[in-house]
Amino acid sequence: MSARRWSRLGLLAAEAVGAAVLTAGVCWAILALLAGEQSTAGLIGRLLGADPGGAAAAVAASLGVPLDWTVAGVDGRLYPITLLLSGSPLALLAAGPLVGMVVLGVRTRKGLTVAGAAVAAGGYAITLTGFVVAGGALAADPLVHLAAPALLVAGAATVWASVGILAARTFRLNRAAVVVAVVAAGVVVAVPASAEPSPGGRVLPFGGGASAPRVGYHRPGVTAELTRLRAEQGAEPLVANDLWRGTPSMVGTRSKLTGGVPGWLRQHAGIFGLADPVGSLRSVREQREPTGERHLWFQQHVGGVPVYGSQVGIHLDRTGQYVEFVTNGAEPALDVRSTQATVLAGDALRTARLAMPNGRLVEPAKLYLLPSNPEPNRATPTVLAWQVWLTDLSGGLSNAYFVDARSGRLVYALPKTAHARDRRIYDANKLTELPIVPKRTEGEGATGIDDVDDAYDYLGDTYDFYHSRFGRDSYDGKGGDLRAFVRVRSKKDEPMRNAAFIPDDIDTMVFGEGMTTVDVVAHELTHGVTFNSAGLWYMYQSGALNESFSDIFGEAIENYSKGAHDWLVGGQIPGGALRSMADPTIYGDPAHYRDFESSCSDWGGVHTNSGIQNKAFYLLTQQIGITKAAAIAYRTLTTYLGERARFTDSRVGFIESANKLYGKGSTEAKEAAAAWTAVGVDGAFEQPRQDCACFADESLAGAGVDGLDPQGPGVDAVLAALLHVRDLFSAARTPALAHYEVVYVTYGQRAIELMATDDDLRRRTAHAMQTLEPALRTVGTAAGDSTVVSQAMLDELSGLMNNYAAADVAAGGGGFAERIGQELDRAAFDQMAGKTVNEALAFLDTRVG
C-alpha cells in the first residue's frame, strides 16, 4: 500500500476521532444545559454530568444502547427509546451522534473507498467505545452505577457512522450540511427549558418526578375497556383516573358478573393493565354487609411476593350478580429483577434498629416488592425489601422501615403513627415514663383526675357513635380494647401539646396534658378506624385524607356527644385550636386544591392539606346536614378507598357512597359532587405529584457519599439518624424543634437546590451529617442525656451553614443566607460545647423557641 494511501487512511481515522469527540461534547453540553432545570431531567443532568461514569453512560444512551443501572443496591435497565416515546428532554442526547455522523460523512465523502469507510466508521466506534469504557472505570459515585455493554456501544456507533457516511455520499452533503446540523443541535439544546420533566432519575421506593402527565393518559386497552363498561351499563361510568399509572383508580359501574370474580377479572383485565389479573391478585379479606353486599379485596403479587400498597377491591351488589364498584391499586407494569432475598430478616432488623434503637418489633419482618412512582410509558422499577415494623411507645413512634433484601441497605421509612368498649386509661402523671397499671378500667368510677375521666368518657362516646350509627364494634370492628395513656410528657419539665394513635399489636393512644377533649379523643380513635379499614398511608395525599377523616369524625362525634360542635379541631385544648374546617385558611391551611401545598415537612403536609377535604365536607353538611354527610364519609373510608388514595379517589367515593345510601342521582349525591367541585377536585385537574426524598436522601446520594469518612458511621447509620430527627420534627415536641421545622419547611428546598448543583457542598453536607450522627441519633432519647456535644460537631455545623450561605449568595440569593446568619446568632453555638445533646436542645429551646 502506498504512503499516500496510508496517509489518507490516517486522516480518515483522525476525522473519525474528531467526530467522536464532537459527539461526546454535544452530549456533555446537553447535560450541562439540562442541569439548570428544576426538573427530574435536570437532576439527572446534574448527576450524569458531574461524574465520568455518568457522562459515559449519557454517550452510550445517546447511541440508543440500553443501560444497566444500580442505585444504592437497587438495579434495573433503561431503554433509551422510552425517553423518546415519553417526550423526555433527555432524548435530546441523540443530537450528539446525529451531529457526529453528519460531520463524519461530510468530512470523509470525497474519494472514499470501502477500506476508507471501514476505517472512518471503525475509528468513530472505537473512540466512543473507549470513552464509554474508560468513563465507567473512572466512575466516582459509589451509590450510582451505570453500565453499557461495550459490544453494543461499538455496534451502535458503527451503525451511526455508516449511516452518516452513506447519507453524505447518496445525498452529496457538503459543509452546509454541517452548519445545518450544528445549528439544529443548538436549537435542540435550547429546548429543555420548556420541555416537560422526564420520568427518569434515581429510583427510590415511591419516589419519582413531581410533574403531572397529560390529563387523560391511558395505558393501551384502558379506553376500550371503559367504552365496554359504558355500553354494558348504558351510561358513563363514574371514574377516577390515575394519570401516572394510566389506569382508573376507581370505577363506579354495573357490570354483569360472569364466570365468578376470576372470570370477570379476566374479561376486564384492561382496567388493571395486568396481563393475568387472576394469577397476580390473591384474596386477602372480605367484607359483608347486612344488605348482602360483598366487598372482596385482593393483594397484587409477583413471583409469590406481595407488591406493597397495591390492592384491588371488587364490590358486588346485594344479589352477587353485578360488580358495582372497583377500587384499583394495582401496579400495571412492574420491572422486577429478583424475588429472592439474599439478606436475612434478622440482619434487616438490626439495620432498622439503627433508626429506632428502642423500637419493639410489632410483627415478624415481611418481604415485599416496593414500587417506585409509576410514570407513563415505562415499566415501574421495584425494590425487594424487608418491612421491619418497630414501635416506641415512650417516644410516641411507630414506623415501618424497609431494608433492601439484596444489598442490606436501609431504603425507606413509612410512618404508621398518626399524631392523632373495654376502656383502659393509664395516667403518666406528667412523667415521661409510661405506667403499666391502668388508673381507670371499664365500669370503674371517676378518679377525680380530669384527663383520665375525660379520656374514659369520650372514648365511650366515640365507641357508642360508631356502634350505634354504623354497627362498628370498636376501632377495629372486632371489639378491640380502648387503651389510652394521658398526661404524657416527652420532657419532664414540659407539657406535650400533642396526641397520637400508635398502631401495633396493642393499639394505643397517647395524649399530652389537657389534650383529652372530645374532638381530639375521637380524632385519634378514628385513626384506628382508618388503620383497620382503608389503611390510608400517612403521607402525601393519602395522609392528608387520613388526617381529614379524623377531623371529620372528631366534629361528628363532638356533635353526637355535646349536641353541638364548633368546626374547630382542638378548640378546647391548651393553646387553642389547630385547624378550622369551615375556613381552613384561618390557620394557614388550603381550602382549595389549587392551593395544595407540596411540602416535604409533616410527611408531605398531611395536617395542612387535610383542609381541602375538610372544606368539602363542611360545604356538604351545609346542604344535607352533618349526620348524612358523616354516613357518606364513613362508607367512603371503610368501603371504597385503598391505601394510596388521592383526593380524586375520595371524591368518587363520596359520590358512590351517596348513590348507595340515598339513591343514584339523589340530591345527596349531587351535593357531594358539588362540594368537591367547589374545592377544585373535579376529576380533571390533578396537582403535580409530591416527591419527598428530601434532604436526607439528597445529602447522601451520588457524589455526597464521597464526603463520608470510611472510619465513621456508615450511610445507613447517618440516614437512620436523619430519619430520627425527621420524626422529632413531625412531632414538634419542643419549642426548638417546632422552630427548626418551620425553618426547614421554608428553606429546605433551597438547600436541596444548592446542593444539587454543587457536588462539593453535597460532600461537605454528607461529612457534617456523619460527624453529627451521634447527636442526631440520640437527641430526644435517654441516650441524649449522656451523649456530649463536641466542639468538632459545632465547628462542622457552623462551617456547613456558612458554606450554604456563601452558595446562596453566589447563586443570586434567596434570603437563605440572611436567615442562616440570624439562626447562627440566635443559637449561640459557642455556649453549647460540653453539654449533653438533650441539654443542648433545652438550651436551644430558650434561645430560639
Q: Which residues are identified as catalytic?
A: 524, 607
Asked if 189 and 92 touch (Cβ cutoff 8 Å), the reply is yes
Q: Indicate the length of the chain as a whole number.
A: 849
b/e sequence 319-349, b meaning 16+ C-beta within 10 Å = eeebbbbbbbbbbbbbbbeeeebebebeebb
What span, in angstroms and rounded, lies between the C-alpha atoms of 428 and 93?
A: 63
Which amino acid, one-letter code, is at 691?
D
What span, in angstroms and rounded, lies between the C-alpha atoms of 10 and 19?
A: 14
- φ, ψ of residue 784 to 5 degrees: the values are -70, -10
Q: How far apart are the first and last CA of the chain?
A: 85
The three cell numbers of residue 280 are 397476580
The three cell numbers of residue 643 are 391505601
- Residues 6 or more apart in contact with residue 205 via CB below 8 angstroms: 308, 370, 371, 372, 383, 385, 402, 411, 412
Q: Where are the alpha helices (DSSP H) in 273-343?
A: 277-280
Residues forming a β-bridge with 388: 401
Which amino acid, one-letter code, is at 445?
G
What span, in angstroms and rounded, lies between the C-alpha atoms of 355 and 399?
A: 10
Asked if 192 and 89 touch (Cβ cutoff 8 Å), the reply is yes
What span, in angstroms and rounded, lies between the C-alpha atoms of 537 and 690?
A: 14
Q: Could you give the 3-state DSSP secondary structure of residue 91?
A: helix
What span, in angstroms and rounded, lies between the C-alpha atoms of 433 and 439?
A: 15
Read out DSSP for 528-549? HHHHTTT---SSHHHHHHHHHH
Q: What share of the chain is helix, strand, coil (3-state, %, to 5)?
A: 50, 15, 35
- φ, ψ of residue 89 to 5 degrees: the values are -60, -25
Q: Could you give the 3-state DSSP secondary structure of residue 424?
A: strand
Asked if 199 and 224 touch (Cβ cutoff 8 Å), the reply is no
Residues forming a β-bridge with 531: none
Cα dist. 448→161, 432, 452, 454, 508 in Å?
88, 21, 8, 10, 23
| Residue closest to 585 by CA, chosen among 615, 556, 613 | 615
